[in-house]
Amino acid sequence: MGKIIAVHSYKGGTGKTLLSVNLAADLAKHGKKVCLFDLDFRAPSLFALLKMENTTYWLNDYLNGNCTINKVLIDLSSRLQGNGNFFAALANPSTEAIRDMSAKDRKWEMRALGRLLSLRNTLLSDQKFDYLVFDTSPGLQYSSINAIVAADFVIVATTSDRSDVNGTRRMLQELYNLFEKKTGLVINKVLDPTSKSKKEEMYAKVKDIYEVPMLGLVPCFCEILRAEGNVIFVQDKPNHPFTKILDEMVSKIDANEVN
């Protein structure tokens, strides 16, 4: 049976979407059947990042109960090398849809959780997907907590910024612990992490501060900023150090070496 991975963070701009897209693409590159979900309904980004046109059904429609999940899935396997399968389920980026999603009530959110949980049967069990990757909104809000509850494993992206460290620690203790979630931490935008001693120091610090295992350490790459969201690194730049880091994360996740 496949797994659901949610990528979450306390603050915005920590690199959730960058990680989600590259993680999903890397898993597919390694021969897996993967679907990437844009669950950031407040600020959808996959539609633009994946350069999509003419989308008929959105994830919004599935969660509203207006269509099946298969109407939403877009097969992008032809864009990737290798024999994996890469699908995407997009959030509707129109202002009207964002407004509609932010006005949902608790009962709707409860049903949305039910629909996310039922993906386990429809996609993982029946259609033999290996991984569903959920890209979420930052912070403690309904759509993100729904995604966390539905997931088997949560990747928390954080930076070394003081406010991020503080909020992430509280979130891990007061939210993740309550749901007993398997969690892996990714520290992004790290300055000068090349030396072994610096790496070890970071790992020890993470264990001490967050009390969860570290999944990876991502340096600050100017090339990522320069790419302006036009490049899926694991696909387009197979020899880039960022791709190597993603490869390591994927093998840890796939070998179930997390937690």
Q: Residue 191 CB, nearest distance to another protein (Å)?
A: 35
Is 42 a binding residue for another protein by CB under 8 A? The answer is no
Is 175 a binding residue for another protein by CB under 8 A? The answer is yes
How far from 59 is each of 33, 92, 137, CA to CA, in Å?
A: 19, 7, 14
Is 145 a binding residue for another protein by CB under 8 A? The answer is yes
What are the structure tokens assigned to 51, written together? 């350069």
> How many residues of this chain bind another protein (CB under 8 A)?
21
Q: Which is nearer to another protein, 180 or 192 (CB)?
A: 180
User: How far is Cα 61 from Cα 127, in angstroms, rounded to an integer?
Assistant: 20
Query: Under 8 Å CB-to-CB from 190, ≥6 apart: which residues?
Result: 160, 202, 217, 218, 219, 220
Return left, alpha or beta for 189; rule: phi > 0 is left, psi -120 to 50 is alpha, else beta: left
- Taking CB under 8 A as the criterion, which residues in 105-144 touch another protein? 105-111, 113-114, 117-118, 142
Is 104 a binding residue for another protein by CB under 8 A? The answer is yes
What are the structure tokens assigned to 169, written together? 């620690």
Site string for another protein, 186-215 (x = CB under 8 A): ------------------------------
Residues found near another protein in the complex (CB under 8 A):
103-111, 113-114, 117-118, 142, 145-146, 149, 175, 178-180
